[in-house]
């Protein structure tokens, strides 16, 4: 403990150092939620996605990590009525799954909303919209005040999409609100739903980007690329099939996904895609640390001087 104290002070003075210098000290500062590992037995449920024609078998079942946990089921797209409100909701879904095309003017990296909010914002454990929308307005420690839902969407655009917050009266914002409210049909207002946000991780050891690099190369690089550059869309459209994890087309340093605990929870609950829950908490945390020390667009709340100092500190 004694030999850690100077490092901790150094960390308080220079936040940019916490990337590669002192993983143990970083771990002390993370509030790690509890992840219940008791229900890890694989089970199957009906898939909501119809099978592709080209598949060899008509597989209509998917594996779920925790079958006993009851999760909310949002309404289906086919249930939408054919009127102005239904069109607004469909517009919101279009923006959500293809932000690169439908909200181009507010995005400056290569991500879509559904790059993190998987399955069009429906996946429990991947910050589903039906668990987030009913909670707002909500106090957030990020900006130390109560935020309305449109403001929260604006922050997604500003940090995770490295872009500009849409004005609150823009059609993009209204469509996204309508889509969120429709996905939360019959969710009680202000209820904390099971599957909200991301899973928690509890790792026995402190995070190590060295181990994380190994896990990344063996588990993640096949989709996200050896250098985290992702895979572009095959049809040549803007955006990515698999999102880039660092570099200019990825999320900014101010994004929630750049926080170690958040990233680890997302990875633990959702990655590798279709094999959720297959990494241990330790592996998820290691990969998260490996991602955090990479270069990415800087935090728009910081000026060029802090960014410059960060670059020097990271060496």
How far apart are CB 133 and other proteins at their closest, in Å? 7
**Min. distance of Cβ 198 from other proteins in angstroms?**
22
Cα–Cα distance, 119 to 201 (Å, whole number): 22
Host H or E run for residue 64: strand 61-64
Q: For residues 264 and 267, give the distance between their C-alpha atoms in angstroms, rounded to a whole number.
A: 5
Scanning 12-20, 164-172, 195-203, 281-289 for contacts with other proteins by CB under 8 A, the matching segment is: 164-172
When the beta carbons of 3 and 83 are compared against other proteins, the nearer one is: 83
Q: Which is nearer to other proteins, 176 or 279 (CB)?
A: 176
Q: What is the closest distance, in whole angstroms, from the C-beta atom of residue 189 to other proteins in the complex?
A: 5
The number of C-alpha atoms within 13 Å of 75 and in the hemisphere containing its C-beta is 18
Contact residue for other proteins among 52, 144, 304, 315 (CB under 8 A): 144
Determine, following the binding rule CB under 8 A, whether residue 70 of this chain makes contact with other proteins: no
Is the Cβ of residue 136 or residue 157 nearer to other proteins in the bound state?
136
Contact 308, 274 (CB under 8 A): no
With CB under 8 A as the contact rule, the residue among 96, 102, 136, 298 that binds other proteins is: 136
- Residue numbers 209-248 binding other proteins by CB under 8 A: none
Residue of 286, 280, 297 lying closest to 263 (CA atoms): 286
User: Which among 157, 163, 172 has a CA at the least distance from the CA of 108?
Assistant: 163
Nearest-angstrom CA–CA distance, 99 and 110: 9
CB count within 10 Å of CB 1 equals 5
Between 182 and 246, whose beta carbon lies closer to other proteins?
A: 182
Per-residue string for binding with other proteins, 169-208, x by CB under 8 A?
x----x--xx--xx-xxxxxxxx-----------------
Rounded Cα distance, 266 and 198, in Å: 5
Asked if residues 130 and 119 have their Cβ atoms less than 8 Å apart, the reply is: no
* 3-state class (DSSP) for residue 142: coil
Count residues near other proteins (CB under 8 A): 32
Using the minimum distance from each CB to other proteins, give the nearer residue, 130 or 289: 130
Closer to other proteins at the Cβ: 50 or 188?
A: 188
Name which position in 23, 110, 134, 239 contacts other proteins (CB under 8 A): 134
Is there binding between residue 2 and other proteins (CB under 8 A)?
A: no
3-state secondary structure of 138: strand
Sequence-ordered list of residues with C-beta below 8 angstroms from that of 298, at least 6 positions apart, any chain:
252, 253, 254, 307, 310
Preceding amide of 272 cis, omega within 30: yes
Angle at 229 between CA 282 and CA 267, to 5 degrees: 25
Told to check if 88 binds other proteins by CB under 8 A, we report yes
Per-residue contact flags (x/-) with other proteins for residues 248 to 287, judged by CB under 8 A = ----------------------------------------
- Contact positions vs other proteins (CB under 8 A): 83-85, 88, 133-134, 136-139, 144-146, 148, 150-151, 167-169, 174, 177-178, 181-182, 184-191
């Amino acid at each position: 403990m004694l030999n850690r104290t100077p490092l901790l002070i150094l960390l308080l003075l220079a936040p940019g150092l916490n990337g590669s210098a002192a993983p143990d000290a970083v771990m002390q500062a993370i509030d790690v939620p509890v992840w219940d590992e008791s229900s890890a037995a694989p089970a199957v449920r009906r898939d909501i996605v119809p099978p592709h024609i080209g598949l060899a078998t008509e597989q209509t079942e998917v594996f779920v990590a925790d079958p006993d946990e009851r999760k909310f089921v949002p309404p289906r797209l086919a249930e939408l009525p054919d009127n102005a409100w239904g069109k607004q909701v469909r517009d919101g879904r279009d923006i959500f799954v293809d932000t690169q095309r439908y909200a181009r003017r507010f995005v400056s990296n290569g991500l879509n909303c559904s790059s993190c909010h998987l399955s069009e914002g429906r996946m429990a454990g991947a910050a589903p919209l039906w668990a987030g929308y009913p909670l707002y307005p909500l106090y957030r420690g990020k900006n130390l005040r109560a935020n309305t839902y449109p403001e929260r969407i604006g922050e997604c655009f500003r940090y995770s999409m490295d872009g500009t917050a849409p004005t609150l009266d823009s059609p993009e914002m209204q469509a996204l609100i309508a889509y969120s409210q429709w996905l939360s049909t019959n969710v009680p207002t202000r209820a904390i739903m099971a599957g909200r946000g991301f899973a928690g991780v509890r790792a026995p050891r402190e995070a190590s980007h060295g181990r994380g690099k190994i896990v990344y190369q063996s588990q993640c690089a096949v989709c996200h690329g050896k250098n985290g550059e992702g895979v572009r869309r095959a049809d040549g459209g803007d955006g990515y099939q698999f999102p880039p994890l660092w570099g200019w087309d990825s999320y900014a340093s101010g994004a929630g996904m750049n926080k170690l605990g958040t990233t680890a929870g997302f990875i633990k609950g959702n990655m590798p895609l279709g094999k959720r829950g297959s990494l241990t908490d330790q592996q998820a945390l290691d990969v998260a640390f490996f991602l955090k020390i990479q270069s990415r667009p800087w935090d728009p709340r910081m000026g060029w001087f802090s960014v410059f100092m960060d670059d020097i500190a990271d060496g």
